[in-house]
Amino acid sequence: MSRVVKLAVIPGDGIGPEVIAEALKVLDAATASSDVTIDTTHFSLGANRFLETGDVLTDADLDAIKAHDAILLGAVGGVPGDPRLVGANIERGLLLKLRFSLDHYVNLRPTVLFPGVASPLANPGDVDFVVVREGTEGPYVGNGGAIRQGTPHEVANEVSVNTAFGVERLVRHAFAVASARPRKKLTLVHKTNVLVFSGALWQRTVTAVAAEFPDVTVDYLHIDAATIFFVTDPARFDVIVTDNLFGDILTDLAAAISGGIGLAASGNINPSGQFPSMFEPIHGSAPDIAGKQLADPTAAILSVALLLAHLGLSAEADTVNTAVTADMAARTGEARSTATIGDAIAARI
Amino acid sequence: MSRVVKLAVIPGDGIGPEVIAEALKVLDAATASSDVTIDTTHFSLGANRFLETGDVLTDADLDAIKAHDAILLGAVGGVPGDPRLVGANIERGLLLKLRFSLDHYVNLRPTVLFPGVASPLANPGDVDFVVVREGTEGPYVGNGGAIRQGTPHEVANEVSVNTAFGVERLVRHAFAVASARPRKKLTLVHKTNVLVFSGALWQRTVTAVAAEFPDVTVDYLHIDAATIFFVTDPARFDVIVTDNLFGDILTDLAAAISGGIGLAASGNINPSGQFPSMFEPIHGSAPDIAGKQLADPTAAILSVALLLAHLGLSAEADTVNTAVTADMAARTGEARSTATIGDAIAARI
Ligand SMILES: CC(C)[C@H](C(=O)O)[C@@H](O)C(=O)O
Ligand SMILES: CC(C)[C@H](C(=O)O)[C@@H](O)C(=O)O
C-alpha cells in the first residue's frame, strides 16, 4: 500500500532555493524505491514575496501550509540594511510566526562532528550531542514594548514568558530523547542564579520529570559555563535541554565547532502531530553568496533526514545520513558547487 | 606627595581568599617603590558569612564599602546544592547587589591570548579584544515574577529593562575605549531580529553615538553569529559592546578560547567616580578545589592591573601586565601552587 506525504516547501530567500533544490533531489532519491510518494507544494514566502506583494505570511498561506504533513524550509531574510525591508522583520513575521502558530515547541538540533570534517578546535573529541531547544516561549514570545521611543527617556522592555505547561512538555520530550540514546545523559542549561523565577521553574521541572526517567543521568550548567565546555570538552554532552534564547546561542556555537553552519540541520517539531513539523538548515539566507552555487546544501539535506525520521521513515532517513557521512569522509577540501554536492550525495543513495 | 588609596578587599568564598592573597602580594610589589600607599580593609562577605550570621550584604557593609576608593573581590558562592544556602542566592544578594548599588554600569572584560598560552582553538590567531558589557540593566535587573508557583499553571516571567540613559552612557564609554585602541573597531552584539524593542534601542544608540566618533568603524552581529566568530575568527574583534546577559555569555566563551577562566580579569566600573569600582577575576569560587592551592591566581592578579590602571597608576599597571606576560611565556605546563605563581609574578616586578 503506497503512502502519500504532502510536503510544503518554502525555499525562501538568498541561498534558500539553491539548497532546497539539492535537498529535494536527495529526498527523491531516498524515496524512489520505497512505497512513499512525496507530493510537494511550493510556497513563495520571504523577503522577495514581501517586496512583490507587501505580505509576509497571510492567514491563507498559514491555512494552506497547515493542510500538509510536513514543511521543508530553506532560509528566509533579505539583504541586511535593504531600506525597502525596514520594519518588515521577516524573521519574526515568517519564521517565528510559523514556529509559534504551528506550536513547534521542540526545536531539535543535533550536532555531530562527522569523520573527515575539520573543527576549529584543536582536540574536539567525539562530538555527538543534541540540543532540545524550547520553541514557543521564553524571550522569543514578542512580549516587549517601549515607551518614549527615540527620546533620552526611552525604556524598552522584553519579557521572557515561561509556563509550567510549556517547560514540562519540552523537558519530558528531552528526557525521552536522552533515554533513547546510548549515554542517556541530560544537561539542563539555564542561568538560574540570575533569572531566578524562570530558572526555578526549569530546575524544578527537570527534577520532577527526572523521577519518570530513572535511567537518565541529569546535570546542570549555567549558560556561560556551558559555552566554555563547548570549546574545551564538547564530547561531554549528550542531550542538552534549554530555553529558546539559550538554545539559539548554543546551537550556532555547536555548529561552529562541528564543521560550520553549512552542516547544521534542525527540526521544528510539534510532537502531537496537530500541526505539521518544519525542517530547516539552521543557517540564514546569506544574500552575499546567493545565486552563485557557493552554498553547502548539506545542512538542508540533513534536515531531510530529520524530516524522514519524523515521518517514521527511518530506513530512508538512515540512507540519507549514510550518504552524507560517506560524502563528508570523501571531501578533499576542493570547492564544489551546491549542485555538485547535492548530486554526489544523491548518487550515493 | 604621597597618595593613599583606600581599598576594600572582599576575598569571598572557596578559592577567593587564596587568589586574593596572591593578588595583594603583587599589588604590594607593584606599589612598593611608588609614592602610593594601599590601605586595605578586609570584608568578610559571601556564603561563609551568610552561614555564620544569616547576612548577605547589610546596609552597614555597603556604606563601609562605599567609603573606599576601589574594591578587589575574589569570588563568592558556596558549595552548589548546600541545603543551608537554599534561597540565599549569594550571587544576586552580594555580587549583583554590589554592581547595582555602586552603579557599575561598565563591566570591562579584556581578552588577550598571551604568548605561550594554549587555546582550545587550532588556529586562534592574534586574539586581543575587550568586551564592554552593560552592568546595571537588561535581564539582570531582577524584575521577574511567577504566579501559581509549583502548580501545572505556573507562569514565570523575567523582564529585561533597557533605558536610553543606561544604554547610551555604556555605548559612549565603549566608543571611547575603541577610539583609544589602534584598530578602532566596535562591534555591537545583540539579537535585534528577535528582541525588537531593546534591539532597536541598542542599534539606534550605537548609530547615534557613532557620529561623535568618526574614527571608529562600527559593525553588528547577532549574539548567535558572534559565538561562531569567537571560535572561527576571534582575531576579528576589537571592542564588543553588548548587554548584560550577552556579555556574560560571551566573556566566558572569550576566556575559554584564550587560556581559560584562570586568566580572565574584569572591572566593574563606575566611570563617574561617584562610587568605588570593583575588580574581580571572572571565575567563580570553585569550592571543589578550594584550600588546595590549585587555583591559578593570574586572573585576580590581572584584575589588580585593571584596578591600578583605573586609579590612574598606569606605570604600576604596566609593571603587573609585563610580569604576568613574562610568567606566562615561561610556563612549562608543570603544575604550580597558587602561591608559587603569585610569588613568581611578584618576583618579576
Ligand atoms: C532567524 C532567527 C529568528 C532564528 C532564531 O533566533 O531562532 C535563527 O537564528 C535560528 O536559530 O533558527
Ligand atoms: C555569578 C554571576 C551572577 C555572574 C554574572 O552572571 O554576571 C558571573 O557569571 C560573572 O560573569 O561575573
- The overall average pLDDT reported for chain A is 96
The verdict on a CB contact (< 8 Å) between A158 and B89 is no
Clarify whether A318 is annotated catalytic: no
Amino acid at B198: S
Distance B131 CA to ligand 2 centre (A): 14
CA distance B94 to B71: 13
CA distance B224 to A283: 11
- The overall average pLDDT reported for chain B is 96
Percent of chain A with pLDDT over 70: 100
What DSSP state is assigned to residue A10?
Answer: E
Q: Which CATH superfamily is domain A119-258 in?
A: Isopropylmalate Dehydrogenase (3.40.718.10)
Residue B104 has a CB neighbour count (10 Å cut-off) of 24
Amino acid at A61: D
Q: Tell me the per-residue pLDDT of A248-268, one tens digit each, with 9 for 90 and over.
A: 999 999 999 999 999 999 999
**What architecture is domain B119-144+154-258?**
3-Layer(aba) Sandwich (3.40)
Looking at residue A89, its pLDDT comes to: 87
Q: What backbone phi and psi angles, to 5 degrees, belong to A66?
A: -60, -25
Residue A87 has pLDDT above 90, yes or no: no
Cβ(A212)–Cβ(A167) under 8 Å?
Answer: no
The verdict on a CB contact (< 8 Å) between A196 and B163 is no
Clarify whether B252 is annotated catalytic: yes
Q: Tell me the per-residue pLDDT of A27-47, one tens digit each, with 9 for 90 and over.
A: 999 999 999 999 999 999 999
By most ligand atoms within 8 Å of CB, the mutation choice from B57, B95, B100 for ligand 2 is B95
The verdict on a CB contact (< 8 Å) between B228 and A162 is no
**Can you tell me the mean pLDDT for A316-328?**
97
The total number of residues shown for chain B amounts to 349
Interface test with A, best of B193, B219, B229, B242 (most A CBs within 10 A): B193
CA distance A99 to A2: 30
CA distance A314 to A8: 20
Distance B30 CA to ligand 1 centre (A): 49
Residue B46 has pLDDT above 80, yes or no: yes
The verdict on a CB contact (< 8 Å) between B155 and A149 is no
Looking at residue A2, its pLDDT comes to: 82
By most ligand atoms within 8 Å of CB, the mutation choice from A91, A132, A280, A283 for ligand 1 is A91
Looking at residue A199, its pLDDT comes to: 97
Nearest CA to ligand 1 atom 1: A91
Cβ(A201)–Cβ(B144) under 8 Å?
Answer: no
What is the CA angle B64-B67-B68, rounded to 5? Answer: 105
**Nearest ligand atom owner, CA of A279:** 1
Residue A1 has pLDDT above 70, yes or no: no
The verdict on a CB contact (< 8 Å) between B193 and A91 is yes
Q: Which CATH number is associated with domain B1-105+266-349?
A: 3.40.718.10
Q: What backbone phi and psi angles, to 5 degrees, belong to B231?
A: -105, -20
CA distance B256 to A256: 15
**Can you tell me the mean pLDDT for A333-337?**
92
Judge whether A1-106+266-349 and A119-258 match in fold.
yes
Looking at residue A242, its pLDDT comes to: 98
Q: Looking at domain A1-106+266-349, which of 3.40.190.10, 3.40.50.300, 3.40.718.10, 3.30.1130.10 is its CATH number?
A: 3.40.718.10
Looking at residue B86, its pLDDT comes to: 81
The candidate with the shortest Cα–Cα distance to B285, out of B103, B133, B134, B94, is B94
**Can you tell me the mean pLDDT for A217-245?**
98
Q: What residues does each domain of chain B span? A: 1-105+266-349, 119-144+154-258
Q: Whole-prediction pTM value?
A: 0.97
**Can you tell me the mean pLDDT for B102-123?**
96
What DSSP state is assigned to residue A93?
Answer: I
The total number of residues shown for chain A amounts to 349
Looking at residue B1, its pLDDT comes to: 59
Instruction: Print the SS3 string covering chain B.
Output: CCEEEEEEEEEECCCHHHHHHHHHHHHHHHHCCCCEEEEEEECCCCHHHHHHHCCCCCHHHHHHHHCCCEEEEEECCCCCCCHHHCCCCHHHHHHHHHHHHCCCCEEEEEEECCCCCCCCECCCCCCEEEEEEECCCEEEEEEEEEECCCCCCCEEEEEEEEEHHHHHHHHHHHHHHHHCCCCCEEEEEECCCCCHHHHHHHHHHHHHHHCCCCCCEEEEEEHHHHHHHHHHCHHHCCEEEECHHHHHHHHHHHHHHCCCHHHCEEEEECCCCCCCEEEEECCCCCHHHCCCCCCCCHHHHHHHHHHHHHCCCHHHHHHHHHHHHHHHHCCCCCCCCHHHHHHHHHHCC
Nearest CA to ligand 1 atom 11: A248
Selecting among A39, A55, A219, A224, the annotated active-site residue is A224
**Can you tell me the mean pLDDT for A307-328?**
97
Q: Tell me the per-residue pLDDT of B157-190, one tens digit each, with 9 for 90 and over.
A: 999 999 999 999 999 999 999 999 999 999 999 9
Selecting among B13, B105, B128, B140, the annotated active-site residue is B140
Q: Searching chain A, which residue's CA lies closest to the CA of residue B162? A: A156
Distance A222 CA to ligand 1 centre (A): 21
SS3 of residue A63 by DSSP: helix
Question: Smallest Cβ distance to B194: which of A140, A196, A204?
Answer: A140
Residue B227 has pLDDT above 90, yes or no: yes
> Burial, B252: exposed, middle or buried (Cβ in 10 Å; 0-12, 13-18, 19+)?
buried
Q: Tell me the per-residue pLDDT of B71-97, one tens digit each, with 9 for 90 and over.
A: 999 999 998 888 999 878 899 999 999
CA distance B242 to A231: 22
At B230, list the grid cell: 569567537
